[in-house]
Amino acid sequence: QQQVKQSPQSLIVQKGGISIINCAYENTAFDYFPWYQQFPGKGPALLIAIRPDVSEKKEGRFTISFNKSAKQFSLHIMDSQPGDSATYFCAARTGQGAQKLVFGQGTRLTINP
Amino acid sequence: NAGVMQNPRHLVRRRGQEARLRCSPMKGHSHVYWYRQLPEEGLKFMVYLQKENIIDESGMPKERFSAEFPKEGPSILRIQQVVRGDSAAYFCASSPIQGEYAFFGQGTRLTVV
């Protein structure tokens, strides 16, 4: 019940296309859903995050769509660029105030020029 | 304001040796989290500490692993009698108060030979 399932494992998108990564969870106690971007040899960096009372959040080219009833959320990267090539992780946090995060398995995104 | 500093960045240990990983949180941050990332996997929560206190160690292996965050100095993750399966990237994150977004360090990549 503490798992967050992420798909696909890898994704190749042409420059200018839309990249879509999906996550699903079971634990309804999760109250915060961040997405992290990780480049090789670096630590994860927060990209965008959403709370379950909101169905969509957009920041620049990045959008989170959240479906509370289906317990699913997804990251959309519009106008994907080669610089977006990285590994993306979805995560979830329980409503206990601390940053104890449950991470998905990661999606390796490659944007072809 | 420097980010979360982890050292060493790379650490090679022979089986049976001890590994000590250090994490200096961001200035003003009193909450530290350790995560482990196995190759091709997401990050797994290990332990959450505040100054001089272990708040949640539910993700720590029962044996050989310990963590501390003293009143002065960095947080230390200690792995005794390392085995090959301990080879992974270990990430530290820090946050200023409970519930705030945590910033990740660049990680320590431990290789056990």
Tens-digit pLDDT profile for residues B31-85? 999 999 988 788 999 999 998 999 999 999 999 999 999 999 999 999 999 999 9
Say if CB A89 and CB A75 are below 8 A apart.
Answer: no
- B90 CA: distance to closest CA in chain A (Å): 10
Say if CB A98 and CB A89 are below 8 A apart.
Answer: no
Q: Do residue B101 and residue A45 have CB atoms under 8 angstroms apart? A: no
Q: What backbone phi and psi angles, to 5 degrees, belong to B35?
A: -130, 150
Chain B residues closer than 8 Å to A106 by CB: 40-42
Q: What is the pLDDT of residue A96?
A: 63
Coil, helix or strand for B86? Answer: helix
User: Positive or negative CA dihedral for B32, B71, B77, B46?
Assistant: negative
Q: Do residue A98 and residue B91 have CB atoms under 8 angstroms apart? A: no
Say if CB B19 and CB B110 are below 8 A apart.
Answer: yes
Q: Do residue A98 and residue B93 have CB atoms under 8 angstroms apart? A: no
Tens-digit pLDDT profile for residues A53-68? 999 999 999 999 999 9
